[in-house]
Amino acid sequence: MKRLALFAALLLAPSIAFCDRPVQDSAQDQAKGDSNGKIQDNLQSVLSGDPILSGADVQAVVDDQNITLTGTVESYAQHQRVLQLVEPYARTRKVVDKIRMPNSQSKYASARFSAAWAG
């Protein structure tokens, strides 16, 4: 019985540890040589299809120098997830974060993001 449990743990561990890896790798592969419009479409599809971002309204605009994120999220966790999903697409582009979190209950979160909103 111990051997079966150990086998199952060893079998599942790599897939759990690297569950985000294939998405990021494919995003980087897709971003290589793609036009800004295609990258923007792919990124928007990834953002709208992510279950963690349910209830969020985030748009991405891609040009040669920047990926500009606008819209609103409901929580700090959603904000971090957006940044995580955008990272593989950024490559040499600067990520301009203009995402707002209007329902924040935390004074810390409001102060932390107010500087980002102003910029």
User: Per the domain annotation, does 27 fall within a domain?
Assistant: yes
Range of the domain at 57: 21-118
User: Is the pLDDT at 24 greater than 70, yes or no?
Assistant: no
Going by C-beta distance under 8 Å and a sequence separation of 6 or more, which residues neighbour residue 82? Answer: 47, 53, 56, 58, 69, 73, 99
> In the block, which residue shows the tokens 């329902």?
103
Phi, psi of 101 (to 5 degrees): -130, 80
pTM summary value: 0.61
User: Is the pLDDT at 34 greater than 50, yes or no?
Assistant: yes
Split into its structural domains, the chain has a count of 1
pLDDT, tens digit, 9 for 90 and up, residues 39-49: 999 999 999 99
User: Per the domain annotation, does 15 fall within a domain?
Assistant: no
Q: Is 113 helix (H, G, I), strand (E, B) or coil?
A: helix
Token pair of 65 as six digits: 């120098």
pLDDT, tens digit, 9 for 90 and up, residues 82-107: 999 999 999 899 999 999 998 665 44
User: Per the domain annotation, does 10 fall within a domain?
Assistant: no
